Structure 1
Amino acid sequence: MLVYPSRLLSPRCLAAWTSAHNVAIFLKARAFSMAKPHPHGYVPRWASGEPFDLPLPSKILCVAKNFASSKEELDSHRENSNESMDKAIIFSKSLTSLVSITQPIELQQREDVFYETELALLITEQLPQSPSGCPPKDCLAAVGGVAVALDLTLKDVQNASKAAGGSWETAKAFDRSCPISDWVKVAGLEENSEWKISTKI
């Protein structure tokens, strides 16, 4: 997951970054005053307690097939799985999906809810844009924070949508479907950085 201010990441850079590092979710942001929380209540915070003076996320772009199990599941829906192995699948979540991970998770009285634990990356620097895309090392150098997030999915809705060749928004973009923790500041990431995160229920 990446959070970044407006115009920091081009689609080509997004594709280059995701194919190289299997990033799960990218958040796009717009300028705003942190004194005003978003209407649905999500307020980004630094875990250190410092004032969070970056733009509020306004769009969530997600990358599928970052888990081995989900990749196998998605490839099983394709006739030519070898062709699909290295192609990123991008989908989106609504802004209202963001919620503090400390808040109760509302499952809408549904039983078939799937969750994936994700590493969120906060992009705080302008990324170069070119026809060939942004080099992965430049993307990594622009990371200014990390957080833990959950990607919640209504699996029955998603499976029905996949079978019909439709989009995933109804299964992925419902309100409060992206709980996220406070951010921990970092000064860029190394290409082979390793982060161990887990979820216990």
Structure 2
Amino acid sequence: MEYFHKDINGQPIQLPVGKVVCVGRNYVDHVKELNNEVPDTPLLFMKPSTSLCDVNAGVTLPADTLGSCHNELEIAILIKSPLKNASQSDCQSAIWGVGLALDLTLRDLQSKLKSKGLPWERAKSFDGACPVSGFTEIHNVADLQALSFSLEVNQQLKQQGDTSLMMWGVYSLLSQISEVFTLLPGDIVLTGTPKGVGPLFANDELCLRLDKHFSINSKVQGEK
């Protein structure tokens, strides 16, 4: 099924589908969880538009891969206007809305690639690697730095985060990203994941929740 941006009511958003810019290691608890070094600047990587899919339609694990596919729940920011070398105040007016996304990660493959000093794309950028929710418009969000979100797997809380705990806040991230990659209308920025990542399995039941805004029930469909 072809992906397109939607609001939380399922209505199409009139923006093109673009790239996904991801931020790694933005929550200290997750950095410690994976025994990584705390970065001095935001760690950036990208997923292509072909990684995007609607989380409401289910999560599909890639077939013929060795090792586990981990959940990484993140706040997703949908961009509505171009950002290049932007100030933080410029970034505030360039956001269409806020949603949730899973940065699916083939963890064993990622670890193997990292050990050899190689890029992560094979582990993070495959088709369907970014299931994303609908977006709530930015004017409905009182404070981007006071958003609580969580992931339950089979009715058990696995991840719980709050944007107040980010090492770099949303506007700071967008500003710094825009110094490296021009952000275009329809691009999505994933802002990092809190601790609690772990393997997903076929038939797992998922509940993604952005407190005070929406919750979504989904299911892991198995391999494709």
What TM-score range do you get, normalising by the shorter chain? 0.5 to 0.7
Match of 1:118 in 2: 74
63-72 vs 175-184, which moves further:
63-72
- CA gap of 1:73–1:198, structure 2 versus 1, over 3 A, is closer
Match of 2:130 among 148, 160, 178: 178
- Residue 174 of structure 1 deviates from its aligned partner by 1.0
Determine the C-alpha separation between the residues in 2 that align with 1:47 and 1:142: 19
- CA RMSD between the two structures: 2.5
Q: How many Å separate the matches in 2 of 1:123 and 1:155?
A: 28
Deviations 1:108-159 (A, max 9, x none): 35651111111111222344x4xxx422232123212111111110000000
1:167 CA drift (Å) = 0.1
The aligned residue for residue 172 of structure 2 is: none
In 2, the alpha carbon distance for the partners of 1:192 and 1:48 equals: 21
1:63 to 3, 19, 23: 23
Of 120, 133, 136 in structure 1, the residue corresponding to residue 88 of structure 2 is 136
Other structure's SS at 1:53 match: coil
- Provide the rounded CA distance (Å) in 1 between the counterparts of 2:142 and 2:82: 18
Q: Which residue among 5, 20, 44 is the counterpart of 1:90?
A: 44
Q: What TM-score results when the alignment is normalised by the length of structure 1?
A: 0.65
Structure 1: which 5+ residue stretches go unaligned?
Answer: 1-39
Report the Cα distance in structure 2 between the residues aligned to 1:68 and 1:87, rounded to whole angstroms: 13
Runs (5+) with no aligned partner, structure 2: 154-224
Identical aligned residues as a percent: 32
- SS across alignment from 2:60: coil
TM score, norm. by length of structure 2: 0.59
The Cα offsets for residues 70-116 of structure 1, whole Å up to 9 and x where unpaired, read as: 4236774xxxx5xx632222111122210001122122356511111
- What letter matches 1:95 in structure 2? S
- Looking at structure 1, the residues matched to 77 and 137 of structure 2 have their Cα atoms a distance apart, in angstroms, of 10
- In the TM superposition, residue 41 of structure 1 has moved relative to its aligned partner by 0.9
1:187 CA drift (Å): 3.3
1:159 aligns with 2:105: no
Amino acid across the alignment from 1:138: D
Give the secondary structure class of the aligned counterpart of 2:145. coil
Contact kept? 2:17, 2:49, Cα under 8 Å: no
Higher RCO (CA 8 Å, separation ≥ 6 residues): 2
Shift of 1:190: 7.0
